[in-house]
Structure 1
Amino acid sequence: MSRWAALPAELDPRVRQLVVRLRRLKDHSGLSLRQLAARTGYSEKSWERYLGGRSLAPAEAVEALARATGENPSRLLALHEVAAEAWATRRAESPPEATKPTGTPAPETAATTTTTATATTTSTSTSTEPRSPGRSLRVALAAGAVALVLAVATAVLLVVRLGGDTAQRPAASLAATAASAATPPTASAARPERPYTCRVERIDGRWFAGLSRTEGAILANGHAGPEVAEAQCLLRRAGVSPGGIDGIFGPLTERAVRRVQQRSGLVEDGIIGPHTWKALRR
């Protein structure tokens, strides 16, 4: 059994599900990377990238691996189709650094540059002239005034970027928005817990909890929302405790998903996909 390195944390759960499945097929076949390369026509380096989650294996490579390991390629190709869509979406949302504009500095950068220039000018003038108590006080007051102006400008800039309609807001609203922007959000504010109520009923031979009717959403550790709460209700109905019904996919929910997958003969990856939804709803 190969000892695989951990997959990248930022890898989409749909891509992660495909890579985990490919790894297990390779392990169960007993083939080395060299033997796998000889049977599929793809190099060892390519398979290292595919099985390491650094690049997405093409559909032809997935099909070749399935045939080399005696697996029906239809399910793998279905997983690949979902993973390819997720991979393309992630690349579209995160363009390479080389494509980002670099000519004009951002407003924050300009403000930082101004602060640095002001500090440099002040340091130069005070180092080349004799110091006196009165002059030091004037320099300190001037530096404080510059810092205050920059702080106000930064607060207004944050309000503009967050609201987009500051010209129509009253001054009190602007001050409140700037104050809230300057205060770092806590963990509970970033991910507020919302209590959900399970209303489990059987409709047309399938179980529903009244929170979501999805049968194909991909959910994994870190996701949140009514779909997660729906899965938690169904896990509890199946006799496996996911913790609280809070709509947050955490370690307890993942552990419960793995138990249901084990009982249903599915891949135990802790990720809810179409097959796990089917097992939960039947």
Structure 2
Amino acid sequence: MKDRSGLSLVSLQTKTPFSGSSWERYLNGKVLPPETAVEAIARIAGEDAAPLLELRDAAERTWNTASDACSTAGGDTAHDTPEAEAPRIRVVALAVAAGGLLLSAVVSVLLVMDAQHPKAGGGQGAAAKVGKYTCAYTRRADLLFAGNSAAMSHRVMLNSTGPEVAEVQCLLLRHKLSPGDIDGYFGPRTETQVKRLQRQDHVPTDGVVGEQTWALLRHVE
């Protein structure tokens, strides 16, 4: 997905909360990536994260089983001989094989997705994003909530991700401002609309949603 989307480690670091070195470990199978990393790369590539999360869950079960087996095999230091190392070597080989199967499965899923959703312009354009968040507006104590987060002071800004960002995007819509897809990614378009709201209400125009801007977002006539 990374290579097909033309993403570099630098671009992944810029667009997600994870460092380039973390992505290098995730992409090369050195460390099991967290769910948020899987969701982040799927979002940036414009793909559905659900199939990849299912594969990650399967990998995690294998990963944990291999780790437990390694701990058990290495527990008896009194018999730390080449013969005793054999079970651990087999466990590591099993983990590597499972990782290879996972990679093959991911590639298969992506090929099917490409076949079903071909990209315009020879595969260089990003597919249309499908937001996983919804806007369910309610009022509590004269404040407006959109059902994704009850945050009132949590700072969100460019390249932030998660339900707080989706809440900001929903509330911008109620202010008749268009942040783009309700996808939980604080991109340049969302930042532009936050700045527009800040200018309208004469507060510092920094594009960062802090306590003051949250108050503006939650107050809708």
TM bracket (short chain): 0.3 to 0.5
- Of structures 1 and 2, the one scoring higher in RCO (CA 8 A, sep 6+) is 2
Higher-helix-fraction structure: 1
- With normalisation by structure 1, the TM-score equals 0.37
